[in-house]
């Protein structure tokens, strides 16, 4: 390299060094260079944070790492995912299932024949009490299982609560308040209670209780897993009620508003024990075989007046008589029916 070229290179290097070190002095001679250096700086730093948030930093995938991972074994892939805190994917897709209630009554209670009519003093009444005591072994075991989860479970208190839930559910059914009814009954009992109630007016009143409500049957069951426990209790209710059902035209179909009847019912309630906010809900009703059949609902029909609504058609003319204009004789023409 010649001495001239060497001196020229050193001069340009010193010039560029001084130029970038002193932008104010170089701005007089080369303003366009200073504009290029400060083109990323905004003149107003007030909204610097907001302007920075407009820029989205994207983490690009490392394709070299992906190519290396293709050669790893299953154990190496599992350990690498464990280091990164990634759950290994599964080959199947699972849909969450929530079971809110059971499909039927667990080990349904068999009421003694003549319950509510036979006195305790008589022989059949004493036999009923003896048989009931003998069947309470499973109920006590289920009661212990319930108290292991629900520490505040008290049999007399829950029995009175059952009667209150029953009255509230009947009032919600009369008012056709489906939202409140869903809070008081299970998904199994809801269609059974609301069946054939459309376009009908129901009048129901609770008069009094003839006997205190009593829990006679307790059972528990497990669904899907052992930690998913449901409990069912059967409560005996002996009350006086008024029931009247009217159709859409206001005609009485069943019962009467002036008649008070004694009603003996065995109501089944269910609770999802493992659910933190579970509550007792109506689940079903036990109807014993020895109970007499209920009165059939009276259906009213409109009998039409046959003579007025369906009058007889006028007789068809089978013969047409026309007078001849010339001879005055009548020509008879037969018209086929």
Which segments within the chain are labelled E, that is strand? Answer: 201-222, 229-246, 252-272, 281-286, 319-323, 330-334
What percentage of the chain has pLDDT greater than the value 90? 29
Per-residue pLDDT at 112:
80
CA 20 centroid distance within chain: 73
User: Using 50, 70 and 90 to split pLDDT, how confident is the model at 325?
Assistant: very low
Q: What stretch of H or E contains 163?
A: helix 155-175
For 76-125, write each residue's pLDDT tens digit: 988 988 988 888 777 777 777 788 889 889 888 888 877 766 555 555 65
End-to-end CA distance of the chain: 133
- Higher pLDDT among residues 218 and 26, named by residue: 218
* Annotated domain spans of the chain: 123-286
Yes or no: say if 204 and 169 are a contact pair by the CB < 8 Å rule.
no
- Higher pLDDT among residues 302 and 243, named by residue: 243
pLDDT at 247 over 50: yes
Per-residue pLDDT at 192:
92
User: Using 50, 70 and 90 to split pLDDT, how confident is the model at 293?
Assistant: confident
pLDDT at 330 over 70: no
pLDDT at 220 over 50: yes
Which of 67-81, 182-196, 321-335 shows the lowest per-residue confidence on average (mean pLDDT)?
321-335
Mean pLDDT over each residue of the chain, to the nearest integer: 79
Q: Which CATH class is domain 123-286?
A: alpha beta
């Amino acid at each position: 390299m010649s001495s001239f070229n060497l001196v020229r290179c050193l001069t340009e290097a010193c010039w560029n060094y001084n130029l970038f070190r002193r932008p104010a002095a170089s701005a007089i001679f080369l303003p366009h260079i200073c504009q290029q250096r400060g083109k990323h700086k905004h003149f107003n730093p007030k909204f610097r944070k907001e302007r920075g948030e407009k820029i989205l930093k994207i983490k690009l995938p490392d394709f070299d790492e992906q190519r290396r991972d293709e050669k790893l074994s299953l154990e190496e892939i599992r350990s690498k995912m464990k280091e990164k805190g990634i759950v290994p994917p599964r080959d199947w897709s699972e849909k969450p299932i929530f079971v809110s209630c059971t499909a039927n009554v667990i080990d349904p209670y068999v009421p003694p024949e003549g319950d509510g009519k036979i006195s305790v003093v008589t022989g059949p009444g004493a036999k009923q009490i003896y048989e009931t005591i003998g069947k309470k072994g499973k109920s006590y075991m289920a009661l212990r299982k319930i108290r292991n989860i629900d520490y505040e479970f008290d049999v007399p208190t829950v029995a009175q609560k059952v009667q209150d839930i029953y009255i509230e559910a009947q009032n919600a059914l009369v008012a056709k308040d489906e939202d409140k009814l869903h809070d008081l009954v299970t998904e199994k009992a809801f269609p059974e209670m609301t069946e054939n109630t459309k376009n009908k007016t129901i009048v129901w009143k609770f008069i009094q209780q003839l006997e205190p409500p009593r829990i006679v049957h307790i059972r528990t069951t497990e669904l899907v897993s052992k930690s998913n426990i449901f409990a069912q209790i059967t409560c005996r209710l002996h009350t006086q009620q008024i029931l009247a059902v009217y159709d859409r035209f206001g005609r009485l179909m069943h019962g009467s508003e002036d008649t008070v009847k004694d009603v003996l019912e065995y109501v089944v309630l269910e609770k999802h024990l493992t659910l933190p906010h579970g509550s007792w809900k109506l689940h079903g009703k036990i109807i014993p075989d020895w109970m007499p059949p209920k009165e059939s609902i009276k259906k009213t029909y409109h009998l039409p007046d046959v003579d007025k609504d369906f009058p007889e058609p006028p007789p068809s003319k089978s013969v047409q008589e026309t007078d001849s204009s010339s001879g005055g004789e009548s020509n008879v023409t037969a018209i086929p029916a």
